[in-house]
Amino acid sequence: MKIVSVVGARPQFVKLAPIHKAAKAAGVEHVIVHTGQHYDPMLSDVFFEDLGIGAPDVHLGVGSGTHGVQTGAMLAALDAVFEEHRPDWVLVYGDTNSTVAAALSAVKMHIPVAHLEAGLRSFNRRMPEEHNRVMTDHAADLLLAPTQVAVDHLSHEGLAERTVLVGDVMTDVLFEVRDQVGSAPSALLTELDLEAGGYYLATIHRAENTDDPERLAEIAESLGGLDRPVVLLAHPRVVAKAAAHGIELTHGTLIVHPPLAYPDLIAAALSSAGVVTDSGGLQKEAFLLRVPCTTVRTETEWVETVELGWNVLANTADEIAAGVIRPRPADTDAAPYGDGHAAARVVEVLSGGA
């Protein structure tokens, strides 16, 4: 059995780690193709190193570009890779341009495609991620859903027969890294002279929050006016957009810091008073770590985090400020994102079992 995984952006490297480990444990041949969508070492290499993935087998080196240029470059390059490897499955992850490019390329070559993290929906047709995930789900042969809500979305779209509920592989990797990090305080505390529980951790990178200067200025303004220090782990996109729009990110309580490697991110989230983010992954990581989250979006795909009280949606400056100072949510032992063994189930399903 041979699986070719296609990844390209930071959250995909995190999801790749437990799949790679499970494939190796099951004696499955696993070829890793990196599209090159993310290329900065802190967005790419550190994940391969820290999460024990090793190096990708193939690197397409496509880099940045508009959606069409970037997706098209991946499509053009993938034919030859799939032709050479002719795997039993192409496995695609999440909702980036790398996901949709690999799904489309494989389906046209009649190679079975499985979509990991299938069935998530924001129902916001302005989001590039929403186009990517809807098109990938409808192109793929096997839909590996992380939650029951995702299964229900796929069922409503007539895709129930191709769907299997496997759980969320992010839970696998997060629990493992959380246990490795243990109770050691985050290195960020010493570096920035912060106290445990005395700061908020923020990430903002989505197009809908960064590309419109007024929107980005409003978010920066609101983060800089919160009641304790806010460490913004700044994705290159937000740094580039702020510079282009003439927006000063460092002001008031807002401290700009480069992105962190995964174990450092988990340690920094664990020590924080709360997370403010527009990242899908971090909303869920905050929930799994039981750190309150405020999500700077009008909707979320991870509705369970909101229903259980650990996440609130906030758009205006007032909503963000109210979100971070809200009382700590009620404890819960709900586990909507699985038991930390999703990757083994994925490999079993791809191997024809389960």
Which listed residue (40, 212, 318, 331) binds ligand UD1 by CB under 6 A? 40
Q: Nearest approach, Cβ of 132 to ligand UD1 (angstroms)?
A: 6
Q: Nearest approach, Cβ of 17 to ligand UD1 (angstroms)?
A: 16
d(CA 214, CA 143) in angstroms, rounded, equals 38
243 binds ligand UD1 (CB under 6 A): no
**Minimum CB distance to ligand UD1 smaller for 219 or for 350:** 219
Q: Which of residues 64-93 bind ligand UD1 (CB under 6 A)?
A: 64
Q: Which of residues 179-218 bind ligand UD1 (CB under 6 A)?
A: 205
Q: Considering only 20-28, 54-62, 138-146, 232-240, which stretch makes contact with ligand UD1 by CB under 6 A? A: 232-240
Q: Would you give the binding string for ligand UD1 spanning residues 107-146, x where CB under 6 A is met?
A: ---------------------xx-----------------
Q: Nearest approach, Cβ of 328 to ligand UD1 (angstroms)?
A: 28
Q: Considering only 72-80, 133-141, 235-243, 346-354, which stretch makes contact with ligand UD1 by CB under 6 A? A: 235-243
38 binds ligand UD1 (CB under 6 A): yes
* 257 annotated active-site: no
Which listed residue (3, 6, 7, 10) binds ligand UD1 by CB under 6 A? 10
Provide the β-strand partners of residue 3.
30, 89
Q: Nearest approach, Cβ of 209 to ligand UD1 (angstroms)?
A: 10
For ligand UD1, how many residues bind (rule: CB under 6 A)? 19
Is the separation of the CB atoms in 37 and 8 below 8 Å?
A: yes
- HEC readout, the chain: CEEEEEECCHHHHHHHHHHHHHHHHCCCEEEEEECCCCCCHHHCHHHHHHCCCCCCCEECCCCCCCHHHHHHHHHHHHHHHHHHHCCCEEEEECCCHHHHHHHHHHHHCCCCEEEECCCCCCCCCCCHHHHHHHHHHHHCCEEEECCHHHHHHHHHCCCHHHEEECCCHHHHHHHHHHHHHCCCCCHHHHHHCCCCCCCEEEECCCHHHHCCHHHHHHHHHHHHCCCCCEEEECCHHHHHHHHHHCCCCCECCEEEECCCCHHHHHHHHHCCCEEEECCHHHHHHHHHHCCCEEECCCCCCCHHHHHCCCEEECCCHHHHHHHHHCCCCCCCCCCCCCCCCHHHHHHHHHCCCC
Which listed residue (26, 39, 251, 303) binds ligand UD1 by CB under 6 A? 39
Count of CA atoms in the C-beta half-sphere (13 A) of 163:
24
Q: What are phi and psi of 76, to 5 degrees?
A: -65, -35
Which listed residue (4, 7, 11, 216) binds ligand UD1 by CB under 6 A? 11
d(CA 263, CA 174) in angstroms, rounded, equals 9
Q: Which of residues 278-337 bind ligand UD1 (CB under 6 A)?
A: none
Q: Considering only 7-15, 161-169, 194-202, 301-309, which stretch makes contact with ligand UD1 by CB under 6 A? A: 7-15
30 binds ligand UD1 (CB under 6 A): no
Which listed residue (72, 185, 225, 236) binds ligand UD1 by CB under 6 A? 236
Which listed residue (237, 251, 257, 341) binds ligand UD1 by CB under 6 A? 237
Catalytic residue among 153, 205, 235, 257: 205
Q: Catalog residues that contact ligand UD1 under the rule CB under 6 A.
A: 9-11, 37-40, 43, 64, 95-97, 128-129, 205, 235-237, 240
Tell me the catalytic residues.
205
